[in-house]
Structure 1
Amino acid sequence: MVLHENMLAEVKRQLGEARGRGSMEVLAMVDALQRLAIDRHFRNEVKAALEEQCTMYSACGDLHEQVLRFRMLRQEGYNVPLDISRWFDIVESVACGRAPGRDDILGLASLHEASHLCTEGEDILERVGEIVCQKLNVSLSMITDHKLAKFVRDTLRNPVHKSIPRLASSNNIRDDHLLWSNYGWNSALQELALLDSSLVKFKYHEEFHQVTKWWNDLGLGKELKFARDNLLKWYMWTIVAIDNPNLSKERVELTKPISFVYIIDDIFDVYGTLDELVLFTDSIIGWSPHENLPEYMKVCFQALNNITNEISDEVYQRHGWNPLISLRKSWARLVEAFLVEARWFTNGTCPAADDYLQNAIVSSGVPVVLVHVFFLLGEGITEKNIDILDGLPGVVSSPATILRLWDDLGSASDEDQDGNDGSYVEYYKKEHPGCTDASARAHVEGLIAKEWKKLNRECLLPREFPNSFCKACLNAARMVPLMYDYNEDHSLPLLKEHMDSMLFSGQASRTS
């Protein structure tokens, strides 16, 4: 599209000019490109700009510039050190009672954003983040600038690092963003982002049409009437995990194993008897249907077998590696974890909270999905990396843990299930008599924060897996609140907002 290409050229030119005008402006522009979800068009230019920032990491600047530089580099995987002493002195001066000015607020907001990128062993940054969060909340009542107050509220509610870039971009396109509204390149970026969003949305519509045709042709929804049929929800996982709009084929293929995770989960949690589940598990471990397997399980197994073979063939054709053994192994591990939970429930067993969690990391379905993501992306496929992947490395286990614990904190049980999965909160309270629900939940929230630190560490250089896979794992963790933050009506308002923004009107209903 000629207009799109011309706009790309113009923004590229302006990015080059910004690099010559000073570090703060180029940091602001790269931040804007990322927040508007158009940075993929300027990978080389952004990399070059950040390399320059890395060489001047210890350069002077106000708190906002210093911390913005830290965050931008950390987000891209640069393992830059903390400069917490300088930052903390400024925070203390702001926290001593004087009314914060605009520059103070921007600096504090940057620190709040940066605190979400802390890794294990950086507790001081986490603590500074907590202090800053309290200070910003107090300052809100004193901020008379409407745009500045909105920026602070958005920062507190949706820190960049834990937000879904394309969902956040839809809000940033509509808003005149505080951080870059006064720069000369602002209008060009906004125009490009608006056009780009329309082109991406059209692509998503095409993909969902392909997914719908596959699902209807498969006919599994009719055969297994007890199972969930939430095709749009399953597809939404792929939009977030594999967010490069150019990877349409990969998103369509990924929707297929995601759908089977949900279907097989329902077989174990809702419909199958324990004897049937044992046969089903043995069939998938041996990858051959047991002769006494019920018909509905045979249908599911055959469909799973076909999909696994098709994806393996696709990966081999595109990347020269046949992942069939790895994919089958990941499915076997999933159903074994499901069977452990089914036995616990049937026998009335109350497992230790840690035992439950170790099993639940696998039964979350995240590992089997991320194994498929790794092969579909096709980067960094080696015997060594496959062995590491089979061992559930932190880049996989952390998002799985975050999902399971967040789900267990949920205010509503899953849509069509009977609540037979158990819960870490429930088991933890039984292990600790006298522990209140609030204390147990606080403990779980602490575990989630710890897993985010581990995941942040996994995404820093040097790392074992390519950036594309690490980003997909990070995006999976970012998606969790949308998928499991039920309201009192047992609905998912954040997910609905994302669906509206990505696939429908583009004018998503705003939630507070």
Structure 2
Amino acid sequence: MSAHVMAVTGLRVSSFTSSLASCPSIYQPWNLSLQTSKRGTIHNNLSIKCVAFNDNKVPSQIDLRTNNFEQVKRNSQMALLNSSDPIKILKMIDTIQRLGIEHHFKEEINVQLGKVGDWDVTQDLFGTALQFRLQRHNGWPSCSDVFKKFLDKSGTFKESITNDIWGMLSLYEASYLGAKGEEVLQQAMDFSKAHLHQSLPHLSPELRKLVAKALTLPRHLRMGRLEARNYMEKYSQATNQIPALMELAKLDFAMVQSMHQKELAEISRWWKNLGLVERLGFARDRPAECFLWTVGTFPEPRYSNCRIELTKTICILLVMDDIFDTYGTLEELVLFTEAIKRWDLDAMEQLPEYMKICYMALFNTTHEIAYKIQKEHGQTVVACLKRTEEQERGDNACSIQCLMTENNLSDENVARKHIRQLIQNLWPELNGLAMTTTALPSSVMKASLNMARTAQVIYQHGDDQNTFTVDDYVKTLILTPSSNY
């Protein structure tokens, strides 16, 4: 994994700024002033702020045993295993996954979904769609033909099902797990989306809000940790909540948030000690933003080391991207590329001073990561990491600009709309690949989908300043406690 995928999509979002001023006890902001070089003033159209966590103020990892965590967890697991109502079981699995606590229920979820062939959810649209979505999301075989019973003789969805709003919403959410070539799911998406839009003015305020959110961003495309945080607030007010699940979700979120704070503290300390921002005035200062990408890609607590080391890699690759995009001359870039290919310290002797600084940081960080992997897993990965860095050329032009140039478009909004459609068209391909049997571990496939989800969330609103920004997401997930729920 590398920042290369992010660069292709155009990593151009806001830095972590003073919107976190409400949490001064655990961070210290520092500013980077504009500098002047022989190439002129170094401009960055983003606010250049970073976060340095104060290790003394970051809470120590919560000892969940003192909070009866294991007992709450066992109660929740037994509630799932002991239920015999198929719809109730499906709803409970759905709730567990929305709350972001499925890593505590992997065995129980698999046991229940393994019985799915023996279940009878009758002809109910809501249950059929929910069962299909959960099966497919969790990697169980699921055939889209189950929706054909809702088609009329002409092969279109029956108008009678449009009166079932919950069923239509369930159908809509399930349709986004369709693979390329599954026409009935594409038809289901178009049909349900159109009718849900039409129904909005006639719904209760609460249901209208729920449907509107789904139409803006379906569940399958949402970032897992962010969905968990948002759903906790809603579930805490639900009249039919399962108290044990709510308590477990709060305890787990606090534990994971504490872990993320420690991880970001370590990353911030490493980044500050590296000194690239102070020594290279053009370098982007975004460790918190880079960390958000890794939280989205590897949300489970067990991937702590992966989040830390991947964030370090992304931070340095962003600086390399800046060298190629905005600062280096052609002659210097050729030398830099050759130095990376050679991959030894002697190779940097011909580089200008600012490139030596970046090259040294890249070289040392890569070997530090490789050493940790060798020590913990017995695998040598230097060659693999080196190939990743060779691919980071910094020549990934903005997709919108490319589209406008290639098609002689003058309206950026038209180009953005087209790009969004291209992205939507790619999701069925991703879904299909995720269902294909490969030699890759399922964790790698899951991480790939999670990275796509993170990109979908971060770039969802483009440059609209009236919507959530990366700053807001970091504050929500990492700094703001969930104790109010």
TM interval, short-chain normalised: 0.7 to 0.9
Distance 2:162 2:382 in 1: 62
Match of 1:38 in 2: 101
What is aligned with 1:60? 122
Q: Which of 82, 86, 105 is the matching residue for 1:17?
A: 82
Q: What is the distance in 2 between the residues matched to 1:301 and 1:120?
A: 43
Give 2:167's match in structure 1, choosing from 97, 100, 107.
107
Q: Deviations over 1:16-58 (max 9, x none)?
A: 122xx221111100000000000100111111111111x2478
Picking from 322, 329, 352, the partner of 1:294 is: 352
After superposition, what is the alpha-carbon deviation per residue over 1:322-371, rounded to whole angstroms, capped at 9, x for unaligned? 01111111111222xx3xx3xxxxxxxxxxxxxxxxxx4xx8xxxxxxxx
Structure 2: distance between partners of 1:158 and 1:56: 33
From 75, 88, 92, the counterpart of 2:137: 75
Say which SS state the counterpart of residue 234 (structure 1) adopts.
helix
Q: Distance in 2 between matches of 1:82 and 1:255?
A: 38
Paired position in structure 2 for 1:309: 367
2:23 matched to 1:48? no
Gaps of 5+ in 2: 1-63
Q: List per-residue Cα deviations over 1:478-498 (Å, max 9, x = no partner).
A: 111343356656687242332
Deviations 1:56-94 (A, max 9, x none): 478634011111111001111224211232233499676
Q: How does 1:100-499 map to 2 (within 5 A)?
A: 100=163, 104-144=164-204, 146-176=205-235, 181=238, 183=240, 186-288=242-344, 289-335=347-393, 338=394, 341=395, 360=396, 408-409=399-400, 423-430=401-408, 440-485=415-460, 493-499=468-474
Specify whether residues 309 and 122 from structure 1 end up closer, same or farther in structure 2 by C-alpha distance, changes over 3 A only. Answer: same
Unaligned runs of 5+ residues in structure 1 are 342-359, 364-406, 410-422
Is 2:430–2:449's contact at 8 Å kept on the other side of the alignment?
Answer: yes
Residue identity in the other structure for 1:497: D
Give how far 1:316 is off: 1.5
Q: TM-score, normalised by structure 2?
A: 0.79
Q: Structure 1 residues 23, 270: closer, same or farther in 2, change over 3 A?
A: same
Partners of 1:241 and 1:476 within 8 A in 2? yes
CA distance in 1, matches of 2:330, 2:157: 63
Between the two proteins, the alignment pairs up a number of residues equal to: 414
CA–CA distance in structure 1, aligned partners of residues 464 and 196 of structure 2: 31
Asked whether the equivalents of residues 36 and 169 of structure 1 are also in contact (C-alpha less than 8 Å), the reply is yes
Asked if 1 retains the 8 angstrom alpha-carbon contact of 2:404 and 2:410, the reply is no
Aligned-residue RMSD, C-alpha:
2.7
- Is the Cα contact below 8 Å between 1:312 and 1:324 reproduced in 2? yes
Instruction: Tell me the TM-score normalized by structure 1.
Output: 0.75
Of structures 1 and 2, the one scoring higher in RCO (CA 8 A, sep 6+) is 2
Query: Structure 1 residues 435, 221: CA separation in 2 closer, same or farther (over 3 Å shift)?
Result: closer
| Residues 25 and 319 of structure 1: CA distance in aligned 2, closer, same or farther (over 3 Å) | same
In 2: Cα distance, 1:316 partner to 1:217 partner? 24
Q: Distance in 1 between matches of 2:118 and 2:469?
A: 39
Q: CA deviation at 1:112?
A: 0.8
TM superposition shift of 1:211: 0.7
Amino acid at match of 1:135: H
Counterpart contact for 2:291–2:311, Cα < 8 Å:
yes
Identity over the aligned pairs, expressed in percent? 31
Change (3 A) 1:216 1:172: same
One-letter amino acid matched to 1:109 = L
Judging changes above 3 Å, is the alpha-carbon distance between structure 1 residues 118 and 157 closer, same or farther for their aligned structure 2 residues?
same
Task: Tell me the alpha carbon deviations over residues 236-263 of structure 1, each in whole angstroms, 9 at most, x when there is no partner.
Answer: 1111111111322221111111101211
- Mark the CA change 1:263 to 1:139 in structure 2 (over 3 Å): closer, same or farther: same
